[in-house]
Structure 1
Amino acid sequence: MKPVNQLFDLSGKVALVTGGNKGLGKAMARGLAEAGADIFISSRSEGELKTSLAEILDGTGRKGEYCVADMNDRADVARLAETALAKMGRIDILINNAGVNIPQAIDAIDDESWDRVLEVNLSSIMALSRALVPQMKSRKWGRIVHISSIMGFVSKERRNAYSATKSAVIGLAKASALDLGEFGITVNCIAPGPFLTDMPMSVLSDAEKKQFASRTALNRWGDPKELVGPVLMLTSEAGSYVTGQVLVVDGGYIAR
Protein backbone atom coordinates (compact mmCIF):
# COMPACT_ATOMS: atom_id res chain seq x y z
CA MET A 1 0.00 0.00 0.00
CA LYS A 2 1.28 3.47 -0.90
CA PRO A 3 1.75 6.20 1.73
CA VAL A 4 -1.39 8.25 2.28
CA ASN A 5 -0.10 11.20 0.28
CA GLN A 6 0.44 8.90 -2.72
CA LEU A 7 -2.77 6.87 -2.63
CA PHE A 8 -4.25 8.73 -5.59
CA ASP A 9 -1.02 8.79 -7.63
CA LEU A 10 -1.53 7.19 -11.05
CA SER A 11 1.99 7.74 -12.39
CA GLY A 12 2.93 5.02 -14.84
CA LYS A 13 -0.70 4.04 -15.53
CA VAL A 14 -2.60 4.36 -18.80
CA ALA A 15 -6.31 5.16 -18.85
CA LEU A 16 -8.86 4.76 -21.64
CA VAL A 17 -11.99 6.90 -21.38
CA THR A 18 -14.78 6.35 -23.88
CA GLY A 19 -16.80 9.45 -24.66
CA GLY A 20 -13.79 11.40 -23.46
CA ASN A 21 -14.34 14.32 -25.79
CA LYS A 22 -16.76 16.25 -23.57
CA GLY A 23 -18.83 16.33 -20.40
CA LEU A 24 -18.16 13.79 -17.68
CA GLY A 25 -15.72 11.84 -19.83
CA LYS A 26 -13.54 14.84 -20.51
CA ALA A 27 -13.59 15.91 -16.85
CA MET A 28 -12.61 12.43 -15.68
CA ALA A 29 -9.86 12.15 -18.29
CA ARG A 30 -8.42 15.48 -17.16
CA GLY A 31 -8.51 14.35 -13.53
CA LEU A 32 -6.74 11.10 -14.39
CA ALA A 33 -4.06 13.01 -16.31
CA GLU A 34 -3.53 15.40 -13.40
CA ALA A 35 -3.06 12.34 -11.17
CA GLY A 36 -0.27 11.12 -13.45
CA ALA A 37 -1.92 8.79 -15.97
CA ASP A 38 -1.38 8.83 -19.71
CA ILE A 39 -4.69 9.17 -21.52
CA PHE A 40 -6.47 7.57 -24.46
CA ILE A 41 -9.91 8.88 -25.39
CA SER A 42 -12.52 7.94 -27.95
CA SER A 43 -15.73 9.27 -29.45
CA ARG A 44 -17.37 9.61 -32.86
CA SER A 45 -16.07 13.15 -33.52
CA GLU A 46 -12.43 13.49 -34.56
CA GLY A 47 -12.51 17.29 -34.38
CA GLU A 48 -13.74 17.25 -30.79
CA LEU A 49 -11.29 14.51 -29.83
CA LYS A 50 -8.27 16.41 -31.09
CA THR A 51 -9.24 19.64 -29.32
CA SER A 52 -10.33 17.91 -26.11
CA LEU A 53 -7.19 15.78 -25.86
CA ALA A 54 -5.03 18.89 -26.03
CA GLU A 55 -7.08 20.48 -23.24
CA ILE A 56 -7.01 17.31 -21.14
CA LEU A 57 -3.22 17.06 -21.34
CA ASP A 58 -2.43 20.77 -21.08
CA GLY A 59 0.10 21.41 -18.34
CA THR A 60 0.10 17.83 -17.05
CA GLY A 61 3.22 16.57 -18.80
CA ARG A 62 1.36 13.41 -19.72
CA LYS A 63 1.06 11.65 -23.08
CA GLY A 64 -2.17 10.96 -24.89
CA GLU A 65 -3.79 9.59 -28.03
CA TYR A 66 -7.31 9.31 -29.40
CA CYS A 67 -9.37 7.09 -31.67
CA VAL A 68 -12.59 7.77 -33.57
CA ALA A 69 -15.00 4.96 -32.75
CA ASP A 70 -18.73 4.36 -32.85
CA MET A 71 -19.76 2.33 -29.80
CA ASN A 72 -22.88 1.22 -31.70
CA ASP A 73 -20.63 -0.77 -34.04
CA ARG A 74 -19.21 -3.95 -32.48
CA ALA A 75 -16.37 -4.08 -35.00
CA ASP A 76 -15.48 -0.48 -34.17
CA VAL A 77 -15.30 -1.38 -30.47
CA ALA A 78 -12.85 -4.18 -31.26
CA ARG A 79 -10.80 -1.78 -33.38
CA LEU A 80 -10.80 0.75 -30.54
CA ALA A 81 -9.27 -1.81 -28.18
CA GLU A 82 -6.65 -2.84 -30.73
CA THR A 83 -5.76 0.78 -31.50
CA ALA A 84 -5.47 1.74 -27.84
CA LEU A 85 -3.13 -1.15 -27.10
CA ALA A 86 -1.08 -0.50 -30.23
CA LYS A 87 -0.65 3.21 -29.49
CA MET A 88 -0.28 3.08 -25.70
CA GLY A 89 1.21 -0.36 -25.14
CA ARG A 90 -1.20 -1.15 -22.30
CA ILE A 91 -4.46 -0.07 -20.72
CA ASP A 92 -4.52 -0.19 -16.92
CA ILE A 93 -7.69 1.81 -16.32
CA LEU A 94 -10.87 1.54 -18.37
CA ILE A 95 -13.65 4.09 -17.93
CA ASN A 96 -16.74 2.97 -19.85
CA ASN A 97 -18.40 6.36 -20.10
CA ALA A 98 -19.90 6.59 -23.59
CA GLY A 99 -23.68 6.51 -23.56
CA VAL A 100 -26.83 7.51 -25.38
CA ASN A 101 -30.39 8.32 -24.33
CA ILE A 102 -33.35 8.16 -26.71
CA PRO A 103 -36.44 8.92 -24.61
CA GLN A 104 -39.48 6.89 -25.67
CA ALA A 105 -42.58 5.64 -23.89
CA ILE A 106 -42.94 1.87 -23.59
CA ASP A 107 -45.67 1.76 -26.24
CA ALA A 108 -43.70 3.97 -28.63
CA ILE A 109 -40.28 2.31 -28.61
CA ASP A 110 -39.02 1.42 -32.05
CA ASP A 111 -36.62 -1.49 -32.46
CA GLU A 112 -33.85 0.62 -33.98
CA SER A 113 -33.75 3.02 -31.02
CA TRP A 114 -34.01 0.22 -28.45
CA ASP A 115 -31.18 -1.72 -30.09
CA ARG A 116 -28.97 1.37 -30.32
CA VAL A 117 -29.36 2.25 -26.64
CA LEU A 118 -28.63 -1.33 -25.58
CA GLU A 119 -25.62 -1.62 -27.87
CA VAL A 120 -24.01 1.68 -26.81
CA ASN A 121 -24.89 1.61 -23.10
CA LEU A 122 -24.43 -2.09 -22.39
CA SER A 123 -23.13 -4.37 -25.12
CA SER A 124 -20.20 -2.12 -26.07
CA ILE A 125 -19.13 -2.07 -22.41
CA MET A 126 -19.05 -5.86 -22.38
CA ALA A 127 -17.16 -5.97 -25.67
CA LEU A 128 -14.54 -3.39 -24.73
CA SER A 129 -13.99 -4.88 -21.28
CA ARG A 130 -13.71 -8.35 -22.81
CA ALA A 131 -11.04 -7.12 -25.21
CA LEU A 132 -8.92 -5.28 -22.62
CA VAL A 133 -9.15 -7.58 -19.61
CA PRO A 134 -6.60 -10.21 -20.78
CA GLN A 135 -3.67 -7.78 -20.73
CA MET A 136 -4.77 -6.52 -17.29
CA LYS A 137 -4.86 -10.11 -16.02
CA SER A 138 -1.33 -10.69 -17.29
CA ARG A 139 -0.06 -7.83 -15.07
CA LYS A 140 -2.33 -8.73 -12.11
CA TRP A 141 -3.65 -5.16 -11.92
CA GLY A 142 -6.51 -3.25 -13.45
CA ARG A 143 -9.32 -0.83 -12.74
CA ILE A 144 -12.62 -0.88 -14.63
CA VAL A 145 -15.36 1.68 -13.98
CA HIS A 146 -18.72 1.63 -15.75
CA ILE A 147 -20.63 4.89 -15.71
CA SER A 148 -24.17 3.92 -14.72
CA SER A 149 -26.72 6.51 -13.54
CA ILE A 150 -29.22 7.17 -10.80
CA MET A 151 -31.65 6.16 -13.54
CA GLY A 152 -30.47 2.62 -12.82
CA PHE A 153 -32.18 2.92 -9.41
CA VAL A 154 -35.05 5.30 -10.12
CA SER A 155 -36.52 6.52 -13.37
CA LYS A 156 -38.90 8.89 -15.06
CA GLU A 157 -41.25 8.80 -17.98
CA ARG A 158 -39.85 7.69 -21.35
CA ARG A 159 -36.59 6.33 -19.91
CA ASN A 160 -37.32 2.65 -20.56
CA ALA A 161 -34.24 1.70 -22.56
CA TYR A 162 -31.92 4.08 -20.70
CA SER A 163 -32.92 2.88 -17.22
CA ALA A 164 -32.80 -0.75 -18.33
CA THR A 165 -29.21 -0.41 -19.52
CA LYS A 166 -28.05 1.62 -16.53
CA SER A 167 -29.42 -1.07 -14.20
CA ALA A 168 -27.83 -3.77 -16.34
CA VAL A 169 -24.29 -2.39 -16.14
CA ILE A 170 -24.52 -2.58 -12.35
CA GLY A 171 -25.21 -6.30 -12.61
CA LEU A 172 -22.42 -6.64 -15.17
CA ALA A 173 -19.95 -4.94 -12.82
CA LYS A 174 -20.85 -7.20 -9.91
CA ALA A 175 -20.37 -10.36 -11.97
CA SER A 176 -17.13 -9.13 -13.55
CA ALA A 177 -15.76 -8.17 -10.13
CA LEU A 178 -16.13 -11.81 -9.09
CA ASP A 179 -14.50 -13.02 -12.30
CA LEU A 180 -11.50 -10.72 -11.98
CA GLY A 181 -10.82 -10.21 -8.29
CA GLU A 182 -8.18 -12.92 -8.07
CA PHE A 183 -6.22 -11.09 -10.79
CA GLY A 184 -6.01 -7.81 -8.87
CA ILE A 185 -8.62 -6.17 -11.09
CA THR A 186 -11.48 -4.20 -9.54
CA VAL A 187 -14.75 -3.48 -11.33
CA ASN A 188 -17.14 -0.83 -10.08
CA CYS A 189 -19.83 1.58 -11.21
CA ILE A 190 -20.34 5.27 -10.66
CA ALA A 191 -23.97 6.38 -10.78
CA PRO A 192 -24.06 10.13 -11.46
CA GLY A 193 -27.11 12.20 -10.70
CA PRO A 194 -27.93 15.55 -12.31
CA PHE A 195 -24.73 16.86 -13.92
CA LEU A 196 -24.47 19.82 -16.27
CA THR A 197 -23.57 17.98 -19.48
CA ASP A 198 -24.87 17.98 -23.04
CA MET A 199 -27.02 14.86 -22.69
CA PRO A 200 -29.50 16.00 -20.01
CA MET A 201 -29.44 19.56 -21.31
CA SER A 202 -30.55 18.30 -24.73
CA VAL A 203 -33.47 16.12 -23.58
CA LEU A 204 -34.88 18.00 -20.57
CA SER A 205 -37.22 20.97 -20.55
CA ASP A 206 -36.44 24.02 -18.41
CA ALA A 207 -39.09 22.87 -15.93
CA GLU A 208 -37.51 19.41 -15.72
CA LYS A 209 -34.06 20.94 -15.17
CA LYS A 210 -35.40 22.95 -12.22
CA GLN A 211 -37.18 19.88 -10.88
CA PHE A 212 -33.99 17.81 -10.93
CA ALA A 213 -32.05 20.52 -9.09
CA SER A 214 -34.72 20.99 -6.43
CA ARG A 215 -34.86 17.27 -5.70
CA THR A 216 -31.17 17.07 -4.74
CA ALA A 217 -30.16 17.69 -1.14
CA LEU A 218 -27.75 20.38 -2.38
CA ASN A 219 -30.44 22.06 -4.50
CA ARG A 220 -28.26 22.27 -7.58
CA TRP A 221 -26.84 20.42 -10.55
CA GLY A 222 -23.37 18.94 -10.30
CA ASP A 223 -20.31 20.26 -12.08
CA PRO A 224 -18.50 17.56 -14.12
CA LYS A 225 -15.32 18.29 -12.14
CA GLU A 226 -17.13 16.94 -9.07
CA LEU A 227 -16.87 13.44 -10.54
CA VAL A 228 -13.06 13.54 -10.52
CA GLY A 229 -12.64 12.66 -6.83
CA PRO A 230 -14.87 9.59 -7.01
CA VAL A 231 -13.22 8.26 -10.17
CA LEU A 232 -9.73 8.77 -8.74
CA MET A 233 -10.70 6.80 -5.64
CA LEU A 234 -11.96 3.87 -7.69
CA THR A 235 -9.01 3.83 -10.11
CA SER A 236 -6.12 4.28 -7.67
CA GLU A 237 -4.68 2.41 -4.69
CA ALA A 238 -7.09 4.41 -2.53
CA GLY A 239 -9.87 2.10 -3.71
CA SER A 240 -7.91 -1.14 -3.90
CA TYR A 241 -10.39 -3.02 -1.66
CA VAL A 242 -13.53 -1.67 -3.33
CA THR A 243 -15.01 -3.87 -6.05
CA GLY A 244 -18.43 -4.91 -7.29
CA GLN A 245 -19.90 -1.70 -5.92
CA VAL A 246 -21.86 1.33 -7.10
CA LEU A 247 -20.76 4.78 -5.96
CA VAL A 248 -23.72 7.13 -6.22
CA VAL A 249 -22.67 10.74 -6.92
CA ASP A 250 -25.94 12.61 -7.08
CA GLY A 251 -25.98 15.47 -4.60
CA GLY A 252 -28.46 13.50 -2.52
CA TYR A 253 -31.03 13.00 -5.29
CA ILE A 254 -32.07 9.45 -4.45
CA ALA A 255 -31.87 10.07 -0.70
CA ARG A 256 -35.16 11.98 -1.00
Structure 2
Amino acid sequence: MRSIASLMNMDGRVAVITGGGGHLGQAMADSLAELGCAICLIDRNEAALADAAGKLREAWGASVDTLLVDLESEAERADVAPRVQELFGRADVLINNAGFVGDSNLTGWVVPFEQQEISTWRRAVEVNLTAAFHLSQVMTPLLRANARGSIINVSSIYGVVGPDMSIYAGTAMGNPAAYAASKGGLVQTTRWLSTVLAPQIRVNCISPGGIARNQPQEFSERYIQKTPMQRMGTEEDFKGAIAYFASDLSAWVTGENLMIDGGWTAW
Protein backbone atom coordinates (compact mmCIF):
# COMPACT_ATOMS: atom_id res chain seq x y z
CA MET A 1 0.00 0.00 0.00
CA ARG A 2 1.34 3.42 -0.99
CA SER A 3 2.06 6.05 1.64
CA ILE A 4 0.25 9.39 1.77
CA ALA A 5 3.54 11.06 0.83
CA SER A 6 3.89 8.97 -2.31
CA LEU A 7 0.28 9.58 -3.31
CA MET A 8 0.87 13.32 -3.02
CA ASN A 9 4.20 13.30 -4.85
CA MET A 10 3.90 15.01 -8.22
CA ASP A 11 7.52 14.92 -9.33
CA GLY A 12 7.71 14.80 -13.13
CA ARG A 13 4.15 15.97 -13.70
CA VAL A 14 3.02 19.20 -15.34
CA ALA A 15 0.06 21.39 -14.34
CA VAL A 16 -1.49 24.00 -16.63
CA ILE A 17 -3.35 26.72 -14.72
CA THR A 18 -5.49 29.43 -16.31
CA GLY A 19 -5.79 32.70 -14.45
CA GLY A 20 -2.34 31.83 -13.14
CA GLY A 21 -1.41 35.44 -12.46
CA GLY A 22 -4.35 35.97 -10.10
CA HIS A 23 -4.57 35.44 -6.35
CA LEU A 24 -6.28 32.06 -6.47
CA GLY A 25 -4.27 30.83 -9.43
CA GLN A 26 -1.03 31.63 -7.62
CA ALA A 27 -2.15 29.72 -4.51
CA MET A 28 -3.02 26.69 -6.63
CA ALA A 29 0.32 26.84 -8.42
CA ASP A 30 2.14 27.18 -5.11
CA SER A 31 0.40 24.09 -3.76
CA LEU A 32 1.37 21.93 -6.74
CA ALA A 33 4.90 23.32 -7.04
CA GLU A 34 5.50 22.32 -3.43
CA LEU A 35 4.55 18.75 -4.38
CA GLY A 36 7.14 18.73 -7.16
CA CYS A 37 4.94 19.59 -10.13
CA ALA A 38 6.18 21.70 -13.04
CA ILE A 39 3.86 24.64 -13.70
CA CYS A 40 2.52 26.36 -16.82
CA LEU A 41 0.75 29.58 -15.93
CA ILE A 42 -1.76 31.08 -18.37
CA ASP A 43 -3.06 34.63 -18.11
CA ARG A 44 -3.61 37.75 -20.21
CA ASN A 45 -1.67 39.94 -17.76
CA GLU A 46 2.01 39.68 -18.67
CA ALA A 47 3.30 41.48 -15.58
CA ALA A 48 1.23 39.31 -13.24
CA LEU A 49 2.50 36.17 -14.99
CA ALA A 50 6.12 37.21 -14.61
CA ASP A 51 5.63 38.04 -10.93
CA ALA A 52 3.85 34.74 -10.19
CA ALA A 53 6.46 32.68 -12.02
CA GLY A 54 9.28 34.40 -10.17
CA LYS A 55 7.70 33.67 -6.79
CA LEU A 56 7.29 29.98 -7.63
CA ARG A 57 10.89 29.62 -8.75
CA GLU A 58 12.15 31.39 -5.65
CA ALA A 59 9.97 29.45 -3.20
CA TRP A 60 10.24 25.94 -4.62
CA GLY A 61 12.88 25.95 -7.35
CA ALA A 62 10.04 24.91 -9.61
CA SER A 63 10.15 24.52 -13.38
CA VAL A 64 7.79 27.28 -14.50
CA ASP A 65 6.81 28.68 -17.88
CA THR A 66 4.10 31.15 -18.82
CA LEU A 67 1.73 31.60 -21.74
CA LEU A 68 0.13 34.95 -22.54
CA VAL A 69 -3.37 33.99 -23.69
CA ASP A 70 -6.64 35.87 -24.12
CA LEU A 71 -9.23 33.24 -23.21
CA GLU A 72 -11.89 35.09 -25.21
CA SER A 73 -9.96 34.15 -28.35
CA GLU A 74 -10.75 30.74 -29.83
CA ALA A 75 -7.57 30.82 -31.91
CA GLU A 76 -5.36 31.56 -28.91
CA ARG A 77 -7.02 28.80 -26.88
CA ALA A 78 -6.50 26.30 -29.70
CA ASP A 79 -2.78 27.06 -29.65
CA VAL A 80 -2.34 26.22 -25.95
CA ALA A 81 -1.84 22.45 -26.29
CA PRO A 82 0.94 22.62 -28.91
CA ARG A 83 2.69 25.33 -26.91
CA VAL A 84 2.52 23.24 -23.73
CA GLN A 85 3.79 20.23 -25.68
CA GLU A 86 6.71 22.29 -26.95
CA LEU A 87 7.58 23.68 -23.51
CA PHE A 88 7.11 20.59 -21.34
CA GLY A 89 6.54 17.58 -23.57
CA ARG A 90 3.52 16.52 -21.52
CA ALA A 91 0.61 17.71 -19.36
CA ASP A 92 -0.99 15.94 -16.42
CA VAL A 93 -3.26 18.54 -14.81
CA LEU A 94 -5.46 21.27 -16.28
CA ILE A 95 -7.01 23.77 -13.89
CA ASN A 96 -9.70 25.92 -15.50
CA ASN A 97 -9.47 28.70 -12.96
CA ALA A 98 -9.72 31.94 -14.97
CA GLY A 99 -12.87 33.92 -14.35
CA PHE A 100 -14.49 36.83 -16.14
CA VAL A 101 -14.32 39.90 -13.92
CA GLY A 102 -14.53 42.70 -16.47
CA ASP A 103 -12.86 46.10 -16.17
CA SER A 104 -13.76 49.72 -15.55
CA ASN A 105 -14.98 50.16 -19.14
CA LEU A 106 -17.35 47.19 -19.06
CA THR A 107 -21.05 48.01 -19.24
CA GLY A 108 -24.07 45.89 -18.43
CA TRP A 109 -22.29 43.74 -15.83
CA VAL A 110 -22.69 44.75 -12.17
CA VAL A 111 -26.01 46.50 -12.73
CA PRO A 112 -29.67 45.66 -12.02
CA PHE A 113 -30.98 42.66 -13.93
CA GLU A 114 -32.97 44.77 -16.41
CA GLN A 115 -29.76 46.58 -17.44
CA GLN A 116 -27.51 43.54 -17.87
CA GLU A 117 -26.36 43.41 -21.49
CA ILE A 118 -26.39 40.42 -23.83
CA SER A 119 -22.94 41.35 -25.19
CA THR A 120 -21.47 41.23 -21.69
CA TRP A 121 -23.33 37.97 -20.95
CA ARG A 122 -21.68 36.44 -24.02
CA ARG A 123 -18.21 37.54 -22.92
CA ALA A 124 -18.68 36.07 -19.44
CA VAL A 125 -19.95 32.76 -20.80
CA GLU A 126 -17.04 32.67 -23.27
CA VAL A 127 -14.41 32.98 -20.53
CA ASN A 128 -16.07 31.11 -17.67
CA LEU A 129 -17.61 28.20 -19.57
CA THR A 130 -16.70 28.00 -23.26
CA ALA A 131 -12.99 28.48 -22.63
CA ALA A 132 -13.00 25.71 -20.00
CA PHE A 133 -14.76 23.37 -22.42
CA HIS A 134 -12.43 24.28 -25.28
CA LEU A 135 -9.20 24.00 -23.28
CA SER A 136 -10.32 20.65 -21.87
CA GLN A 137 -10.97 19.51 -25.43
CA VAL A 138 -7.65 20.62 -26.90
CA MET A 139 -5.66 19.38 -23.89
CA THR A 140 -7.32 15.94 -23.75
CA PRO A 141 -4.73 14.14 -25.92
CA LEU A 142 -1.90 15.32 -23.67
CA LEU A 143 -3.82 14.56 -20.46
CA ARG A 144 -4.83 11.13 -21.73
CA ALA A 145 -1.30 10.09 -22.74
CA ASN A 146 -0.19 9.11 -19.24
CA ALA A 147 -3.56 7.58 -18.23
CA ARG A 148 -3.84 9.61 -15.03
CA GLY A 149 -4.78 13.08 -16.18
CA SER A 150 -6.79 15.42 -13.99
CA ILE A 151 -8.99 18.37 -14.94
CA ILE A 152 -10.10 20.69 -12.15
CA ASN A 153 -12.78 23.26 -12.92
CA VAL A 154 -13.29 26.26 -10.66
CA SER A 155 -16.96 27.14 -10.30
CA SER A 156 -18.56 29.13 -7.47
CA ILE A 157 -21.22 28.86 -4.80
CA TYR A 158 -23.30 30.92 -7.23
CA GLY A 159 -23.11 28.08 -9.71
CA VAL A 160 -25.08 26.05 -7.17
CA VAL A 161 -27.31 28.45 -5.20
CA GLY A 162 -28.96 31.77 -5.89
CA PRO A 163 -27.63 35.05 -4.46
CA ASP A 164 -28.92 36.90 -1.44
CA MET A 165 -28.86 40.38 -2.94
CA SER A 166 -29.32 42.03 0.46
CA ILE A 167 -25.65 41.47 1.30
CA TYR A 168 -24.70 43.82 -1.56
CA ALA A 169 -26.98 46.68 -0.46
CA GLY A 170 -25.26 50.05 -0.26
CA THR A 171 -22.14 48.87 -2.12
CA ALA A 172 -20.98 49.03 -5.73
CA MET A 173 -20.84 45.23 -5.76
CA GLY A 174 -23.35 42.95 -7.45
CA ASN A 175 -24.07 39.47 -8.76
CA PRO A 176 -24.60 39.26 -12.54
CA ALA A 177 -26.81 36.53 -13.98
CA ALA A 178 -24.13 35.57 -16.51
CA TYR A 179 -21.70 34.74 -13.72
CA ALA A 180 -24.14 32.36 -12.06
CA ALA A 181 -25.24 30.75 -15.32
CA SER A 182 -21.70 30.18 -16.58
CA LYS A 183 -20.47 28.81 -13.26
CA GLY A 184 -23.49 26.53 -12.98
CA GLY A 185 -22.80 25.29 -16.49
CA LEU A 186 -19.24 24.51 -15.43
CA VAL A 187 -20.48 22.19 -12.68
CA GLN A 188 -22.56 20.21 -15.15
CA THR A 189 -19.77 20.23 -17.74
CA THR A 190 -17.60 18.66 -15.03
CA ARG A 191 -20.07 15.81 -14.60
CA TRP A 192 -20.38 15.29 -18.35
CA LEU A 193 -16.64 15.25 -18.93
CA SER A 194 -16.03 12.96 -15.96
CA THR A 195 -17.92 10.08 -17.55
CA VAL A 196 -16.83 10.73 -21.12
CA LEU A 197 -13.09 11.06 -20.39
CA ALA A 198 -12.81 8.25 -17.82
CA PRO A 199 -10.81 6.24 -17.00
CA GLN A 200 -7.71 8.01 -18.36
CA ILE A 201 -8.75 11.49 -17.18
CA ARG A 202 -10.53 12.42 -13.97
CA VAL A 203 -12.61 15.61 -13.95
CA ASN A 204 -13.63 17.37 -10.74
CA CYS A 205 -14.77 20.80 -9.66
CA ILE A 206 -14.39 23.13 -6.70
CA SER A 207 -16.93 25.81 -5.85
CA PRO A 208 -15.39 28.62 -3.80
CA GLY A 209 -17.30 30.88 -1.49
CA GLY A 210 -16.35 34.49 -0.90
CA ILE A 211 -12.66 35.25 -0.55
CA ALA A 212 -11.63 38.27 1.54
CA ARG A 213 -10.18 40.91 -0.77
CA ASN A 214 -10.78 44.25 0.93
CA GLN A 215 -14.49 44.29 0.19
CA PRO A 216 -16.61 47.03 1.79
CA GLN A 217 -16.97 46.42 5.53
CA GLU A 218 -20.77 46.21 5.40
CA PHE A 219 -20.60 43.50 2.75
CA SER A 220 -18.01 41.49 4.66
CA GLU A 221 -20.00 41.67 7.89
CA ARG A 222 -23.19 40.49 6.19
CA TYR A 223 -21.33 37.71 4.38
CA ILE A 224 -19.73 36.45 7.59
CA GLN A 225 -23.09 36.42 9.36
CA LYS A 226 -24.33 33.96 6.72
CA THR A 227 -21.25 31.72 6.98
CA PRO A 228 -21.10 29.00 9.65
CA MET A 229 -17.30 29.29 9.91
CA GLN A 230 -17.74 32.99 10.71
CA ARG A 231 -15.16 34.32 8.28
CA MET A 232 -14.55 34.81 4.59
CA GLY A 233 -12.09 32.58 2.77
CA THR A 234 -8.40 33.08 2.01
CA GLU A 235 -6.40 31.74 -0.93
CA GLU A 236 -4.70 29.29 1.44
CA ASP A 237 -8.06 27.60 2.08
CA PHE A 238 -7.96 26.14 -1.45
CA LYS A 239 -4.46 24.66 -1.50
CA GLY A 240 -5.45 21.33 0.05
CA ALA A 241 -8.34 20.71 -2.33
CA ILE A 242 -6.15 21.37 -5.35
CA ALA A 243 -3.43 19.05 -4.05
CA TYR A 244 -6.09 16.38 -3.48
CA PHE A 245 -7.78 16.57 -6.88
CA ALA A 246 -4.54 16.97 -8.86
CA SER A 247 -2.63 14.11 -7.23
CA ASP A 248 -3.15 10.38 -6.75
CA LEU A 249 -4.80 11.13 -3.40
CA SER A 250 -8.04 11.27 -5.42
CA ALA A 251 -7.22 8.53 -7.92
CA TRP A 252 -10.73 7.02 -7.60
CA VAL A 253 -12.62 10.33 -7.48
CA THR A 254 -14.24 11.90 -10.51
CA GLY A 255 -17.35 13.95 -11.26
CA GLU A 256 -17.35 15.67 -7.86
CA ASN A 257 -18.03 19.29 -6.97
CA LEU A 258 -16.44 20.26 -3.66
CA MET A 259 -17.94 23.25 -1.89
CA ILE A 260 -15.17 25.29 -0.27
CA ASP A 261 -17.30 27.96 1.33
CA GLY A 262 -17.06 27.88 5.11
CA GLY A 263 -20.48 26.22 5.17
CA TRP A 264 -22.31 28.94 3.20
CA THR A 265 -24.32 26.38 1.18
CA ALA A 266 -24.98 24.09 4.18
CA TRP A 267 -27.73 26.18 5.76
Q: How many residues align structurally? A: 250
User: Quick one: distance in 2 between partners of 1:80 and 1:55?
Assistant: 23
Match of 2:239 among 214, 228, 234: 228
Deviation of the 1:205 alpha carbon: 4.0
TM-score calculated relative to the size of structure 2: 0.89
Deviation of the 1:123 alpha carbon: 0.2
CA-based RMSD: 1.5
Deviation of the 1:231 alpha carbon: 0.7
SS at match of 1:72: coil
- Give the aligned partner of residue 66 of structure 1: 66
* Partners of 2:20 and 2:29 within 8 A in 1: yes
Deviation of the 1:217 alpha carbon: 1.1
**Runs in 1 of length 4+ with deviation above 3 angstroms?**
none
SS at match of 2:72: coil
SS at match of 1:190: strand
* Partners of 1:194 and 1:213 within 8 A in 2: no
User: Quick one: distance in 2 between partners of 1:84 and 1:135?
Assistant: 9
Give, as a single letter, the amino acid of the residue that structure 1 aligns with 2:156: S
Deviation of the 1:179 alpha carbon: 0.7
Match of 1:151 among 144, 153, 158: 158
* Partners of 2:153 and 2:206 within 8 A in 1: yes
* Partners of 2:16 and 2:91 within 8 A in 1: yes
- Give the aligned partner of residue 211 of structure 2: 195
User: Quick one: distance in 1 between partners of 2:260 and 2:249?
Assistant: 17
Structure 1 residues 2-29: Cα deviation after superposition (integer angstroms, max 9, x where no partner): 3223221111110011001121111000
Give, as a single letter, the amino acid of the residue that structure 2 aligns with 1:230: A
TM-score calculated relative to the size of structure 1: 0.93
- Give the aligned partner of residue 23 of structure 2: 23
* Partners of 2:116 and 2:176 within 8 A in 1: no
User: Quick one: distance in 2 between partners of 1:128 and 1:227?
Assistant: 22
* Partners of 1:104 and 1:160 within 8 A in 2: no
1:142 aligns with 2:149: yes
User: Within 5 A, what are the aligned runs for 1:1-256?
Assistant: 2-101=2-101, 102-156=109-163, 157=165, 158-183=175-200, 185-197=201-213, 205-256=216-267
User: Quick one: distance in 2 between partners of 1:91 and 1:104?
Assistant: 40
Give, as a single letter, the amino acid of the residue that structure 1 aligns with 2:123: R
User: Quick one: distance in 2 between partners of 1:134 and 1:81?
Assistant: 9
Deviation of the 1:103 alpha carbon: 2.7
Give, as a single letter, the amino acid of the residue that structure 1 aligns with 2:205: C
User: Quick one: distance in 2 between partners of 1:45 and 1:12?
Assistant: 27
Structure 1 residues 54-84: Cα deviation after superposition (integer angstroms, max 9, x where no partner): 1123231220100111111111111233222
